[in-house]
Structure 1
Amino acid sequence: MSGLIGSVGTKSGLVNEISAGKISGGVNFSELAGSIIPIGMATVPTGFLLCDGTAVSRTTYAVLFAAISTTWGAGDSSTTFNVPDLEGMFLRGTGSHGTGNMANGSDFAGPSLAAYENDQVQGHNHTFSQVLTQGGNGVYNSEIVSGQNGTTAINTNHPLNASAYSALTYGTPRMGDEARPCNTGVKYCIKY
C-alpha cells in the first residue's frame, strides 16, 4: 500500500496507521485546527479544547482563531472568542440533502454553520372514532362529546384523557420531555 506512512507490510502495521489517523500524504485529521472530534474518555487530550462554549484567548489559541474566527461566538469582542457549545447536542450536517426529502417534499436541510436548532416533532394528527349509543362522555367523529341517555351534544370543552399508547407487539413506548434517538454520551473536542 503506497502513500501510507510507516510499515504496512502486515495487518498490524496497517491498523497502526489507521489508528493514528494518517492517510495518503501523511495528513492527520486530528491535527487540523478547527476539527471537531468525539472522545470516549474523561480527560480532554492535549491539543484539544472541550466544546463547551468557553471564551478563550485569541492570542493563546491564534491558530484556532484563524480557522474559526467568531463563528461560534465573539467572546468579549476583542481578546477572546468562543469555542462551540456542543454539550448535550447531536451534530447535523449543514446544507441541503440532494436526494432525501421531508414529508412536505422539500429537501432535508441542516442548519447554517454554528446555528442551533430547538428540538421539534414533525406535525401530525390523530383521528378518534367512537359511536356513542348511550349518554356519557366520549369521542364521536373526531369531536369530544358529552351527552346524556338519548342525547348526543357536541362539546369541545371536555378534555380527552388518554394513557400512553401501547403498540402490543412493539411494546410500550418510552415517554419523556424530549424526542431523541437511541444514544450514548461522548465529549466533543475541537483541535487548536
Structure 2
Amino acid sequence: MEKGDFVNNLRKTASFVVVEVNVSSISLAISTNLRAGTIDDQEIRELSLLKLIKQTVPIGTIFAYASDAVPEGFLVCDGSPLKANDYPELYEVLSTIHGNGIDSNSVLTGNFNLPDYRGMFLRGWDPIGINDPDFNTRQSPRSGANEGNRVGSIQNHHVQAHDHLLNLPRHINIGGRYSGGDWSLAWESHDQFLNNPPQRVGENGGKETRPKNAAVNFIIKVL
C-alpha cells in the first residue's frame, strides 16, 4: 500500500464501537508492519483507534479508580520514578513537575516521577488565590519537582484560624453579717479580683482534620 493510499484510507475509516482492546499489542503489531512496509485495512482501523483513544483520553489524565486492579495503559499515582525512554509521551506531558526521578530512598533512578496522590485530596490549581487563600504557602512534593504555587505543589495539614470563647468570672463580691448567741461578726462588702490562670479547652479528636471519605486509586494514563 502506497503512503498516499494509507493516509486516504485512514481519513475515510468508518466510526466504530470498541468493547475491549489491547492497546500495547495493537501498537506493536502496527509498528512492526509499518517497518516492514506492509499494512492492511484492519490495521488502519486499529491505528485510527489508537489515535482516537489518545485524543479522547489524553496521556497524563487522572482518574479515580475503584479497584486495586489497574487497567492496561494506566499506572497508580504513587510517586514512582520513571525513565523518559520508557514513557516518552508521558514525559513530554509531565516533565519534572512531580519530581526529577528520585525514588523513596532519595536515589536518582529515573528522569521524572509520577504524581503521588496516596492519601491526598486533589484541589484545582489557583494561580492568584481566588479560592486558595494560602496559595503562596504551597510546597514542592519532592526534590526536583515544581516549587511554589504551581501544578504539582502540595499543602500540608492546616486548620483555619478561629477562637473559642471561654467565660470565666473576673471578680466576686463578698460581704455579710453573722450572729451567734451574745456575739456577732460583720464584714464589709468589697470586690475581690481573681487572678485566673489561662484555661485550655478540652483536647479531643484524631491525628488530622478531614471530611468523611472513601479510598480510591488515583490512576494516570501513561500509554
TM (norm. structure 1) is 0.60
How far apart in 1 are the matches of 2:161 and 2:16? 54
Match of residue 187 from structure 2? none
Q: Tell me, what secondary structure is at the counterpart of 1:129?
A: coil
Of 146, 153, 160, the match for 1:122:
160
Deviation at 1:163, TM superposition (A): 6.2
Residue 163 to residue 75, structure 1, CA distance change in 2 (3 Å): closer
Structure 1: segments with no counterpart, 5+ residues:
8-15, 17-25, 98-105, 136-149, 165-174
Structure having the larger proportion of residues in helix: 2
Residue 30 to residue 91, structure 1, CA distance change in 2 (3 Å): farther
Task: Compare 55-64 and 78-87 and name the one that shifted more.
Answer: 78-87
Match of residue 79 from structure 2? 53
Q: Tell me, what secondary structure is at the counterpart of 2:131?
A: strand
The amino acid across from 2:194 in the alignment is A
Structure 2: segments with no counterpart, 5+ residues:
1-14, 20-51, 103-107, 136-148, 175-190
The amino acid across from 1:64 in the alignment is L
How far apart in 2 are the matches of 1:29 and 1:123? 44
How far apart in 2 are the matches of 1:121 and 1:155? 28
Deviating 4+ runs (over 4 angstroms): 26-30, 76-79, 132-135
Between the aligned residues of both structures, percent identity stands at 29
Match of residue 194 from structure 2? 153
TM (norm. structure 2) is 0.53
Match of residue 123 from structure 2? 92
Match of residue 187 from structure 1? 217
CA contact (8 A) 2:81 2:109 kept: no
Residue 93 to residue 28, structure 1, CA distance change in 2 (3 Å): same
Residue 114 to residue 134, structure 1, CA distance change in 2 (3 Å): farther
Match of residue 130 from structure 2? 107
Residue 161 to residue 91, structure 1, CA distance change in 2 (3 Å): closer
**What is the count of residue pairs matched by the alignment?**
139
How far apart in 1 are the matches of 2:109 and 2:214? 37
Q: CA RMSD in A?
A: 3.1
How far apart in 2 are the matches of 1:155 and 1:92? 44
Deviation at 1:120, TM superposition (A): 0.6
